[in-house]
Amino acid sequence: MNTKLHAICDSQGRPLNLFATAGQVSDYIGARALLSSLPKVDWLLGDRGYDADWFREALKDKGIRACIPGRKQRKKAVKYDKRRYKRRNRIEIMFGRLKDWRRVATRYDRCPKVFLSAIALATTVIYWL
């Protein structure tokens, strides 16, 4: 029962959209699911797990510049703005604050829908109320 949580956050680290996948599933699945709900932004900061040529092209088609470091297995290195990438810590802080909620950190719920509902409730209370 391992779970990955994918999130779209604003510039202040507040979650706008959430998507949960099984732990063994690639990050590309989460990227594909959240791609259609991306807001109008100039930059997207992402983890190495989201480094894919098709994802970079999809972002480019939407007019979004990607700040995603390349995977280590990549034959041709990808340039990214290292200074801008340091701002991704806001997203990591958001995940840390979510884990302050015991129900989210320990995943009491077996049903993925109930677990995602608990996460949505936690994000609403932490960031939007």
pLDDT digits 0-9 by tens, 40-86: 999 999 999 899 999 999 999 999 999 999 998 888 889 999 999 99
Q: Contact 39/33 with Cβ under 8 angstroms?
A: no
Confidence of residue 129 (pLDDT cuts 50, 70, 90): confident
The pLDDT, as a whole number, for residue 1 is 61
pTM of the predicted structure, to 2 decimals: 0.85
What is the CATH code for 3-128? Answer: 3.30.420.10
Place of tokens 């029962």: 1
* pLDDT one-digit tens code per residue, 9-27: 998 999 999 999 988 988 8
Separation of alpha carbons 34 and 82, rounded Å: 24
Extents of the domains making up the chain: 3-128
Average pLDDT over residues 79-98: 92
